[in-house]
Chains A and B, each alone.
Chain A
């Protein structure tokens, strides 16, 4: 009964027109930096050309390109990971002694001025927020942005980055704690 479709063929000349935007959107959602996303798409096209002869036509052109892009994204993350050092230790709480797990005095949240509330929508706040997000270690920032700004499902992020959910929450927690400290110093109690 099953009728086999004719194998898919590649048209590299049409790639840029047909898939550049699609691939870019795919990449930007994962790396969160338009320059890096563009580079990744470019690399994907080159890699595609290089291995075009290995294309068996079982999947569509687009699926095939996306699978290459996925590899490229993972490679990119690996690179950051090795660059930034695996053991980036950032303590938020006492981790030994009597006060284990409790607030370090200087990091205890301070109350925020009410003034800040009025300005909540203005541009400056957004700029400050961007600055604070950029100051996070890249590893945390990536997970944090994927979860918060792009609003991915936890499961998807875990699969993509190959981490466990509890790992993810710890990273998000650290990112948020750092973010709130940054905002506290630069915005709310300025």
Chain B
């Protein structure tokens, strides 16, 4: 559904656009002595305000590199092509010295490991105040006062005292709350959350998911939620894209994707999970491994592991096309 809207709206103006984030034909290439590697390959999607897009896939599928490209953080050797816009403003052409205006203010990110995302030698209140001081032009005093409010917003008890704590004095869950407070301090249009609960225990994970949903309702930002955990994504996302070897292989609403997965990779991923409500003695498996992303790969990147693959799959690259309204699949064997 959303992809249709993307196509039918050429160059929406910044204020009128209901889309907080639009990504069109995003690719990331790395070249080395071994040749060119395309780790993100022609990825397109959009997220409306107040909506959550789940991005799932296994390690090396390009989900984190996509996020880094959105923030202009792809390592220097990498070459980013394609169009990215935040609330209608294109980011592709902006100069390097303009990035700080965007990053942290319009697009913010929450990382997997809260301990490494925070400065261990700086009080958490100061870390949040720094964001507000730089981006909102608040004085340090005002920024410190706002920082306490932000800590209160993310549910940290006695925020005025806690603002003086250092990261090591907090538990993992509290640290992730601080990282979220920092990311949301400037009320960004888009929040990228890259495996935000992976390092946390299940009971703390549930608290953080609850918090993110509440803040999204209050602030109305678009969220791109990246995770390898299908169950977490099924609980938090409105729409989901499944990535494999740098490409989007399936896109649908969360309800549709998890009740009616069409791509053999998505089907395989869901089937391999042990399920508490339906125990099987032997779990289905996806045979083989993710292919090497060098130039030699032809046809569908999943063909080597796919039970349905035939000569067509090994020769021709499948395109992402609509199978039913709002459900896109890149597979030769899935027809409308």
A and B form one complex: no
Using a CB–CB cutoff of 8 Å, the interface residues on chain A facing chain B are: none
Using a CB–CB cutoff of 8 Å, the interface residues on chain B facing chain A are: none
